[in-house]
């Protein structure tokens, strides 16, 4: 059974139909990458899974249960974390406060926190600083750290490398590989090289529909499909 | 123009930033007034007025910042707080003359009754009036303005149109005379209570998990929900708190004015909105700063240039918004 299954998911934003019936199955474990051009519907897919936009008709099944009618908070409590494209950090809160807010009982699991600080050493350095003062890369680290401060079954991550320096992107890839050891990541990404280094399974969305699905290894070898579906040159 | 504003910001930054603005206003007024005793009286009056307006405005600022709700009916809670407190004080009139202990008990009953009414009315208002119009500013303005009018009519129906006298406990009457300086005791009490509420709010916002959630929710509601928190419950709690604070502010204002009319809420609404806008939406510290500046300026201008008194708040708001369009200390968004 898949960890997450989207069945005919259609989402309208105002009068515009953005998703036209997404069918997708995300297996448990590893990183599943969702690729696609700008405006294809990748972010809308993640937001619809989180209940931030309501799919109608269609459904979202998590561990076999339909969660599409649940409130966002209830979806999160089922073990799904979300790292939005704009990172969604709370700039007026300190790094520590941003993280502690995401804990279930208002206190850290010491061992887990140590692992997070080892993954993202900058966060410990700026522990008591307000988050708005962090650099773009540090904010992205904080956003990802917040998603894993408690054990999660699935983490939805939206374009984490956008606007980041290559060195930060490399560090982020390393962190994602480690995170994927204990949880499942559904990653939306436009940086194909970054996505290729992480994903085991993948799908391509275009114009609100899944137009390709398969293994990353096969897709990485298929230059023609990359050109046709993503506009990448050979 | 922007160059002038930048230079003003840099100069103010060198002198402690916006937090010390009330102090610089007070010092400037001292030089202009020239009579120390008058200056002290005006300053205490300005600080007391500022603290009472802070009580009324702090809830509106949080509701604005967290819920993105334009509640023009907020001042109805101010009116109801004033009338409920006046009614309780009148009913306990015998206690007011029965020594400091009984008089204190009467005052406490009046303030608690106003707060309780604010909590209950806030719950009703949020569920029945505000909830159906979340995310729709135009309808929020229309429906909350309508609610304010209905509230005024309810007050008229219950308490009548003639001004209501608000009895004060004897221990808050009179003034302390120090040399040729006269300081009204009630103003000191209002300032002290406002300061206590401010400290309580700061502790709530900075030292508790609920406070952390409110601060986070002011910045990004969606993300708070994505972390597993039901923002609706937070909205209700904050709305009730804001309404209770407004009612407390109204009760204190009633004791300050000692004669109240049903138009009280409408009259205070403009001042409250000015304070919230110049302080910066969603920020308690900004609201306090805005309230103190408004209180001090209103008193100083009323003394120095009485003809400008009515316009002083508007001029102040225009000047501050030209300098800082988001207010003095807005919450980080």
CB-count exposure of residue B69 (10 Å: 0-12, 13-18, 19+): buried
On the question of pLDDT at B331 being above 90, the answer is no
Using CA atoms, how far apart are residues B327 and A194, in angstroms rounded to an integer?
A: 42
pLDDT of residue B265: 87
Considering only alpha carbons, which residue of chain B is nearest residue A76? B228
Interface residue A1 vs chain B (CB under 8 A): no
Facing residue for A101 by CB, picked from B212, B231, B332: B212
On the question of pLDDT at A232 being above 90, the answer is no
Using CA atoms, how far apart are residues A62 and A46, in angstroms rounded to an integer?
A: 13
Using CA atoms, how far apart are residues B159 and B255, in angstroms rounded to an integer?
A: 17
Query: In which band, very low, low, confident or very high, does the pLDDT at A180 lie, cut at 50, 70 and 90?
Result: very high
B 226-285 near A (Cβ less than 8 A): 226-231
- Chain A hits for B229, CB-CB cut-off 8 Å, are 73
Q: Do B226 and A84 touch (CB under 8 A)?
A: yes
pLDDT tens for B102-114 read: 999 999 999 999 9
pLDDT of residue A89: 95
Q: What's the sign of the alpha-carbon dihedral B279, B285, B291, B296?
A: negative
CA distance A201 to chain B (A): 25
Assess contact for A25 and A4: CB atoms under 8 A.
Answer: yes
Cα–Cα–Cα angle for A111, A117, A122, rounded to 5 degrees? 170
Using CA atoms, how far apart are residues B73 and B269, in angstroms rounded to an integer?
A: 9
Assess contact for B188 and A66: CB atoms under 8 A.
Answer: no
- Chain A hits for B285, CB-CB cut-off 8 Å, are none
CA distance A166 to chain B (A): 27
Interface residue B326 vs chain A (CB under 8 A): no
Considering only alpha carbons, which residue of chain B is nearest residue A79? B228
Query: In which band, very low, low, confident or very high, does the pLDDT at B10 lie, cut at 50, 70 and 90?
Result: low
Which conformational region is residue B182 in: left (phi greater than 0), alpha (psi within -120 to 50 degrees), or beta?
beta
Assess contact for B252 and B52: CB atoms under 8 A.
Answer: yes
- Chain A hits for B218, CB-CB cut-off 8 Å, are 92
Q: Do A101 and B213 touch (CB under 8 A)?
A: yes
pLDDT of residue B8: 66
pLDDT of residue B170: 86
CA distance B227 to chain A (A): 6
Q: Do A73 and B231 touch (CB under 8 A)?
A: yes
Q: Do A90 and B222 touch (CB under 8 A)?
A: no
Which conformational region is residue B300 in: left (phi greater than 0), alpha (psi within -120 to 50 degrees), or beta?
alpha
pLDDT of residue A79: 96
Considering only alpha carbons, which residue of chain A is nearest residue B231? A73
On the question of pLDDT at A27 being above 60, the answer is yes
Q: What are phi and psi of B257, to 5 degrees?
A: -80, -30
Q: For testing the chain A interface, which of B217, B221, B228, B232 should be mutated: the one with the most A CBs within 10 Å?
A: B228
SS3 A201: strand
CA distance A87 to chain B (A): 9
Q: Which residue has the tokens 């994903």?
A: A199
Strands A154-158 and A80-83: parallel
pLDDT of residue B64: 84
Assess contact for B73 and B125: CB atoms under 8 A.
Answer: yes
Strands B181-184 and B175-178: antiparallel
Cα–Cα–Cα angle for A92, B226, B327, rounded to 5 degrees? 30
DSSP string, A13-79: ETTEEEEEEEEEEE-SSEEEEEE--TTSSHHHHHHHHTTSS-B-S-EEEETTEE-TTS-HHHHHHTT
Query: In which band, very low, low, confident or very high, does the pLDDT at B241 lie, cut at 50, 70 and 90?
Result: very high
Q: Any idea what DSSP says for residue B19?
A: G
Assess contact for A26 and A2: CB atoms under 8 A.
Answer: yes
DSSP string, A114-125: HHHHHH-HHHHH
CA distance A218 to chain B (A): 34
On the question of pLDDT at B252 being above 70, the answer is yes
Q: Do B226 and A50 touch (CB under 8 A)?
A: yes
pLDDT tens for B112-126 read: 999 999 999 999 999
pLDDT tens for A198-210 read: 988 999 999 999 9
The closest alpha carbon to B267, from B62, B56, B110, belongs to: B56
CA distance B285 to chain A (A): 13
Assess contact for A67 and A46: CB atoms under 8 A.
Answer: no
Q: At what angle do helices B2-14 and B309-323 cross, to 10 degrees?
A: 90
Domain ranges of chain B: 22-323
Which tokens hold the place of A104?
Answer: 């279930």
Q: For testing the chain B interface, which of A14, A73, A156 should be mutated: the one with the most B CBs within 10 Å?
A: A73
On the question of pLDDT at B15 being above 80, the answer is no
Q: List, as own/partner pairs, every contact residues B199-202 make where C-beta atoms lie below 8 angstroms and the sequence separation is at least 24, other chains included.
A: B201/B58, B201/B284, B202/B284, B202/B285
CATH (one of 3.30.70, 2.60.40, 1.10.3470, 3.40.1760) for B22-323: 1.10.3470
Q: Any idea what DSSP says for residue B331?
A: P
Residues 6+ apart with CB under 8 A from A147: A81, A82, A83, A102, A155, A157
The closest alpha carbon to A11, from A72, A39, A53, A42, belongs to: A53
Query: In which band, very low, low, confident or very high, does the pLDDT at B245 lie, cut at 50, 70 and 90?
Result: very high
- Chain B hits for A133, CB-CB cut-off 8 Å, are none
Query: In which band, very low, low, confident or very high, does the pLDDT at B180 lie, cut at 50, 70 and 90?
Result: confident
Q: What are phi and psi of A214, to 5 degrees?
A: 170, -160
Beta bridge partners of B259: B165
- Chain A hits for B227, CB-CB cut-off 8 Å, are 76, 101-102, 146
SS3 A93: coil
Which tokens hold the place of A119?
Answer: 């993954």
CA distance A114 to chain B (A): 21
Q: How many CB pairs lie under 8 A apart between chains A and B? A: 60
Using CA atoms, how far apart are residues B80 and B152, in angstroms rounded to an integer?
A: 9
On the question of pLDDT at B333 being above 60, the answer is no
Interface residue A71 vs chain B (CB under 8 A): yes
Using CA atoms, how far apart are residues A41 and A55, in angstroms rounded to an integer?
A: 13
Q: For testing the chain B interface, which of A51, A72, A93 should be mutated: the one with the most B CBs within 10 Å?
A: A72
Counting Cα atoms < 13 Å in the Cβ hemisphere of B143 gives 16
The closest alpha carbon to B51, from B264, B301, B299, B325, belongs to: B299
pLDDT of residue B1: 55
pLDDT tens for A83-92 read: 999 999 999 9
Interface residue A29 vs chain B (CB under 8 A): no
On the question of pLDDT at B14 being above 70, the answer is no
Using CA atoms, how far apart are residues B260 and B253, in angstroms rounded to an integer?
A: 9
Q: Which H or E element spans position A127?
A: none
> Taking chain B, what is the end-to-end CA distance rounded to the nearest angstrom?
26
- Chain A hits for B216, CB-CB cut-off 8 Å, are 90, 93, 101
């Amino acid at each position: 059974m898949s960890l997450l299954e989207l069945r005919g998911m259609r989402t309208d934003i105002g009068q515009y139909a953005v998703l036209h019936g997404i069918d997708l199955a995300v297996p448990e474990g590893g990183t599943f990458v969702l690729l696609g051009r700008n405006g294809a519907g990748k972010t809308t897919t993640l937001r619809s899974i989180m209940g931030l936009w309501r799919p109608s008709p269609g459904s979202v099944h998590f561990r076999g249960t339909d969660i599409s009618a649940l409130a966002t908070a209830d979806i999160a409590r089922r073990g799904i974390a979300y790292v939005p494209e704009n990172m969604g950090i709370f700039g007026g809160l300190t790094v520590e406060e941003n993280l502690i807010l995401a804990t279930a009982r208002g206190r850290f699991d010491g061992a887990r926190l140590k692992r997070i600080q080892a993954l993202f050493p900058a966060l410990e350095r700026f522990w008591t600083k307000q988050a708005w003062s962090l650099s773009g890369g540090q904010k992205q680290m904080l956003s990802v750290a917040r998603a894993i401060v408690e054990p999660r079954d699935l983490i939805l991550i939206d374009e984490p490398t956008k606007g980041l320096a290559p060195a930060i992107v490399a560090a982020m890839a390393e962190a994602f590989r480690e995170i994927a050891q204990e949880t499942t990541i559904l990653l939306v990404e436009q940086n194909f090289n970054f996505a290729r280094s992480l994903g085991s399974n993948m799908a391509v969305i275009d114009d609100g529909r899944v137009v390709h699905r398969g293994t990353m290894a096969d897709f990485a070898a298929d230059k023609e499909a990359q050109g046709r579906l993503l506009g990448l040159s050979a | 123009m922007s160059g002038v504003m930048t230079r003003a910001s840099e100069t103010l930054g060198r002198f402690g930033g916006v937090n010390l603005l009330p102090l610089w206003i007070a010092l400037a007024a001292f030089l202009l007034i020239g009579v120390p005793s008058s200056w002290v009286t005006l300053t205490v009056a300005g600080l007391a007025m500022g603290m009472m307006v802070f009580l009324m405005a702090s809830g509106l600022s949080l509701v604005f910042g967290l819920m993105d709700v334009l509640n023009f009916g907020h001042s109805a809670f101010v009116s109801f707080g004033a009338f409920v407190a006046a009614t309780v004080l009148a009913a306990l009139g015998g206690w007011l003359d029965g020594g400091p202990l009984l008089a204190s008990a009467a005052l406490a009953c009046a303030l608690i009754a106003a707060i309780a009414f604010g909590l209950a009315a806030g719950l009703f208002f949020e569920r029945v009036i505000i909830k159906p119009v979340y995310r729709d500013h135009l309808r929020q303005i229309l429906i909350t303005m309508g609610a304010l009018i209905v509230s005024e009519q309810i007050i008229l129906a219950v308490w009548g149109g003639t001004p209501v006298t608000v009895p004060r406990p004897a221990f808050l009457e009179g003034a302390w005379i120090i040399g040729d300086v006269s300081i009204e005791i009630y103003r000191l009490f209002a300032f002290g209570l406002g300061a206590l509420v401010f400290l309580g709010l700061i502790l709530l916002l900075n030292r508790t998990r609920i406070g952390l959630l409110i601060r986070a929710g002011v910045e990004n509601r969606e993300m708070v929900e994505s972390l597993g928190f039901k923002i609706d419950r937070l909205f209700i709690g904050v709305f009730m708190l804001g309404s209770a604070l407004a009612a407390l502010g109204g009760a204190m204002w009633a004791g300050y004015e000692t004669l109240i009319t049903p138009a009280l809420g409408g009259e205070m609404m403009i001042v409250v909105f000015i304070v919230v806008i110049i302080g910066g939406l969603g920020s308690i510290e900004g609201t306090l700063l805005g309230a103190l500046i408004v209180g001090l300026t209103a008193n100083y201008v009323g003394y120095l240039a009485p003809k400008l008194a009515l316009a002083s708040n508007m001029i102040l708001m225009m000047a501050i918004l030209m300098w800082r369009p988001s207010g003095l200390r807005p919450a980080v968004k």
